[in-house]
Amino acid sequence: MAHFYDSVSRTFNEYLLIPNKTTTECYIDNVTLTTPLVKYKKGEKPALSLNVPFVSAIMQSVSNDSLAISLARSGGLSFIYGSQAIDTQVEMVKKVKKCKAGFVTSDSNVTPNQTLDDVIKLKNNTGHSTIPVTDNGLGSGKLLGIVTGRDYRLSRDDLTTKVNEFMTPIDKMVVGDESLSLKEANDVVWEHKLNCLPILNKKGNLKYLVFRKDYDEHKDNPDELLDDEKRLVVGAGINTRDYEKRVPALIKAGVDILCIDSSDGYSTWQEQTIKYVKDTYGENVKIGAGNVVDKEGFIFLVECGADFIKVGIGGGSICITREQKGIGRGQATAVREVVQARDEYYEETGTYIPICSDGGIVHDYHIVLALAMGADFVMMGRYFARFDESPTKVIKLGNNYVKEYWGEGSNRARNWQRYDGSESERQGMKFEEGVDSYVPYAGKLKDNLDKTLTKIKSTMCSCGSINISQLQNTARITLVSSTSIIEGGAHDVILKEKSDF
CB 230 within 8 A of CB 217: no
What is each CA distance from 400 to 18, 289, 439, 441, in whole angstroms?
Answer: 37, 37, 10, 8
- Per DSSP, the three-state class of 392 is coil
- Per DSSP, the three-state class of 385 is helix
Choose among 437, 317, 297: nearest CA to 366: 317
Contacts of 374 (CB under 8 A, 6+ apart): 335, 336, 339, 340, 342, 343, 355, 472
DSSP 8-state symbol, 24: T
Q: Strand pairing partners for 475?
A: none
User: End-to-end distance of the chain based on CA atoms, in angstroms?
Assistant: 63
Give the up-direction half-sphere exposure of residue 476: CA atoms within 13 A in the CB hemisphere: 7
DSSP β-ladder status, 168-169 and 206-211 = unpaired
Q: Is the peptide bond before 113 cis (omega within 30 degrees of 0)?
A: no
C-alpha 413/C-alpha 415 separation (Å) is 5
Contacts of 181 (CB under 8 A, 6+ apart): none
Could you say which of 246, 329, 342, 418 is catalytic? 418
Choose among 51, 31, 47: nearest CA to 39: 47
C-alpha 21/C-alpha 235 separation (Å) is 38
Q: In residues, how long is the chain?
A: 501
C-alpha 378/C-alpha 367 separation (Å) is 7
To the query of whether residue 304 is one of the catalytic residues in this protein, the response is: no
Q: What is the 3-state secondary structure (H, E, C) of 65-119?
A: HHHHHHHHHCCCEEEECCCCCHHHHHHHHHHHHCCECCEECCCCCECCCCEHHHH
To the query of whether residue 319 is one of the catalytic residues in this protein, the response is: yes
C-alpha 288/C-alpha 67 separation (Å) is 20
CB 301 within 8 A of CB 265: yes
Could you say which of 304, 319, 356, 463 is catalytic? 319
- Per DSSP, the three-state class of 131 is strand
Give 327-330's long-range contacts (Cβ < 8 A, gap of 24+): 327/264, 328/293, 329/9, 329/293, 329/294, 330/8, 330/9, 330/10, 330/11, 330/14, 330/360
- Catalytic positions are 319, 418
